[in-house]
Amino acid sequence: MGPRRFQPPPPLVYSTRSSIDSEKHSDVDAALKQLKTCTRRLQAALSAHRTELQVLERLYYKGKNQHRQALFWRRVEETRKYGERLNGMAMHELVEALRLSFWGDAWREKPKLLRGPWTHVPNKEVGLHVLRRCSDCLSLIRKVSTPSETNFSDNHTLKAVPRAIGQCIPVSYW
């Protein structure tokens, strides 16, 4: 088994809506509504994070020769490394793929189907994989936030991303 950050998602297997109890339909509706708001907030937070990462990358490029031995520069390198790792996790795409999987593959041909009721249920392994990735992302952000708060006290996006991801985790369906 490879490192956790490089594990591919399990294969997606759909079941029809009628395969689950009708009492669970309202729970799935609530979870999908929560996932929709989560993906919007996550997209905004990660977009701001990418912008800050580009600024940090430019600062790193401009000062890497001059400040290489300084202690604060090691913190800049560490923050840059963790920022790239967070960006590489592609959390927005993963959560959005989970949400869209409730409409099967038909939404690709007819995007208006997303306005209607959900028609499919993804397998449990896919949901658990997304929850594990969200948990991994939160632990990475917690690891980053302690050193970066002492060095970069005005880092608002690192505080916004955990709130957005934290709203994705309590999906009661799984």
**Model confidence at 36: pLDDT above 70:** yes
Q: Phi and psi (nearest 5°) for 22?
A: -70, -20
CA distances from 1 to 4, 29, 32 (A): 8, 35, 32
Q: What are 118-154's pLDDT values in tens digits? A: 999 999 999 999 999 988 888 888 887 765 555 555 5
Mean pLDDT (the chain, rounded): 82
Model pLDDT, residue 174: 44
Percent of the chain with pLDDT over 90: 28
Residue 47 forms part of a structural domain: yes
15 within a domain of the structure (yes/no): no
Examine residue 144 and state whether it is found in any structural domain, yes or no: yes
In this structure, the chain runs to a length of: 174
Write out pLDDT tens, residues 63-88: 888 887 788 888 888 888 988 998 88
pLDDT band with cut points at 50, 70 and 90 for residue 173: very low
How many domains, the chain?
1
- Residue 69's domain spans which residues? 22-166
pLDDT at site 4: 64
Is 35 inside a domain boundary? Answer: yes
Does the residue 14 lie in any domain? no
Any domain includes 126: yes
Give the residue from 4, 101, 100, 96 showing the smallest Cα distance to 46.
Answer: 96
Cα–Cα distance measured from residue 76 to residue 72, given in angstroms and rounded to the nearest whole number: 6
Q: Is residue 153 part of a domain?
A: yes
Does residue 172 sit within a domain? no
The beta strand positions in 8-76, using DSSP E, are: 14-16
